[in-house]
C-alpha cells in the first residue's frame, strides 16, 4: 500500500482531519487522480494507493473514507454512498481486463482468478457460465506467481497494467468489456467512487471537479507515464470511458443484480 501525503495541512472544518482517499494503482486511473494532486483539493486529502480488491477491504474496515472501489464489492458494505460523476468504465473493449489462454475457450480446463480484482472476477464467472457455457476448475490466485501458470489448458484472468504485458505473452485473450457489450449491449463499470459514510458536500464537489481536470490533460498524462506496451492515448480516449452517466448506472445496477442471483 502506498500512502501519498500532501505537504499542506489545511483543515477540513470537520475536526481538522484530512479525508483518506483510496486510489487504484493502475494506469487507467491516472486521468482521475491527476486533479486530486492539485489545489484546491490536494491539501484536504490523504491519498492511499493500492489495488482494487485491497481498497475495497480498506473501505469496509474504515481505513479509508472514500475509495475508487470495485463495483462488485459494494454489496459487502454496511453503508455506502456513491460519490461523484466519474468512474472506471468502458463501452466496449476495455483492453486491460482479459482472460488469457494458450488454447481456445472450449479447451480451457482451469482458470486462475486475479487476486487484485473483485468486479472482473465476478464478471468473468458470469460470462463463462451464462454466455460461453464453459465450466473450468476455478482457482483463486493469491500472488503474482499465478501468471506463470497460464499455459496449456490453464487460463488466467489478468487486470490492470499487467494485462498489457500478458497480451504480448499469451496466444489468446478475451476482453471482458467487449464480451459484456456483446451480450448485453450495455457499457460496463469496473469501479466507482464510494464512501462508507456521508462526507461534506463541498469537499465532494471539489473531488468531483478534480476528477474532471485530468480528462482535459490527457496528452500531459500520457507523456508523463513512459509506458511502451500500449498506446496510452488510445487507452484513455477509446477504451476507458470515465463519465458515470445514466447508462452506466443502469448497467451497474444490472450487473449487481445478475451476480446477486448466483
DSSP 85-142: EEEEEESS--SSEEEEESS-GGG--EEEEPTT-SHHHHHHHHHIIIII---PEEEE--
Does domain 97-184 sit in CATH 3.40.50.720?
A: no
- Angle (deg, nearest 10), helices 176-184 and 119-127: 50
* Predicted pLDDT at 183: 97
Q: Taking the model in full, what pTM does it have?
A: 0.92
Residue 224 Cα to chain centre, angstroms:
21
Strands (E), the chain: 2-4, 19-24, 45-50, 66-70, 81-90, 97-101, 110-113, 137-140, 154-159, 172-175, 188-195
* Predicted pLDDT at 262: 64
Q: Tell me how far apart the alpha carbons of residues 260 and 185 are, in angstroms, rounded to a whole number.
A: 20
**What pLDDT tens digit does each residue of the chain (262 aa) get?**
443 333 333 334 344 589 999 999 899 999 999 999 999 999 999 999 999 999 999 999 999 999 999 999 999 999 999 999 999 999 999 999 999 999 999 999 999 999 999 999 999 999 999 999 999 999 999 999 999 999 999 999 999 999 999 999 999 999 999 999 999 999 999 999 999 899 889 989 999 999 999 999 999 999 999 999 999 999 999 999 999 999 999 999 999 999 998 6
Q: Tell me how far apart the alpha carbons of residues 146 and 251 are, in angstroms, rounded to a whole number.
A: 31
CATH of domain 2-90+188-245: 3.40.190.10
The 8-class DSSP code of residue 17 comes to: P
Q: For the chain, give every residue range classified as CATH 3.40.190.10.
A: 2-90+188-245, 97-184
* Predicted pLDDT at 261: 80
Which single residue is written with the C-alpha cell 468489456? 177
Amino acid at each position: 500500500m502506498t500512502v501519498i501525503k500532501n505537504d499542506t495541512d489545511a483543515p477540513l472544518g470537520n475536526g481538522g482531519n484530512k479525508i483518506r482517499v483510496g486510489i487504484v494503482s493502475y494506469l487507467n486511473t491516472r486521468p482521475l487522480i491527476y486533479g486530486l494532486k492539485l489545489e484546491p483539493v490536494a491539501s484536504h486529502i490523504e491519498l492511499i494507493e493500492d489495488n482494487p480488491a485491497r481498497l475495497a477491504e480498506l473501505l469496509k474496515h474504515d481505513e479509508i473514507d472514500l475509495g475508487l472501489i470495485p463495483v462488485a464489492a459494494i454489496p459487502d458494505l454496511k453503508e455506502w454512498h456513491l460519490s461523484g460523476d466519474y468512474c472506471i468504465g468502458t463501452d466496449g473493449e476495455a483492453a486491460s481486463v482479459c482472460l488469457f489462454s494458450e488454447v481456445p475457450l472450449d479447451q480451457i480446463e482451469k482458470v486462475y482468478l486475479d487476486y487484485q480484482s473483485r468486479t472482473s472476477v465476478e464478471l468473468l464467472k458470469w460470462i463463462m457460465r451464462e454466455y460461453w457455457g464453459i465450466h473450468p476448475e476455478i482457482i483463486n490466485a493469491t500472488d503474482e506467481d499465478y501468471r506463470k501458470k497460464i499455459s496449456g489448458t490453464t487460463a488466467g484472468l489478468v487486470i490492470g497494467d499487467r494485462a498489457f504485458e500478458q497480451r504480448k505473452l499469451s496466444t489468446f485473450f478475451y476482453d471482458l468489456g467487449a464480451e459484456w457489450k456483446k451480450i448485453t449491449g450495455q457499457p460496463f463499470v469496473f469501479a466507482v467512487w464510494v464512501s462508507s459514510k456521508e462526507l461534506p458536500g463541498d469537499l465532494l464537489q471539489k473531488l468531483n471537479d478534480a476528477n474532471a481536470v485530468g480528462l482535459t490533460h490527457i496528452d500531459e498524462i500520457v507523456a508523463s507515464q513512459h509506458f511502451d506496451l500500449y498506446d496510452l492515448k488510445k487507452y484513455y480516449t477509446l477504451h476507458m470511458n470515465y463519465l458515470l452517466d445514466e447508462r452506466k448506472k443502469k448497467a451497474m445496477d444490472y450487473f449487481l443484480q445478475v451476480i446477486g442471483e448466483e
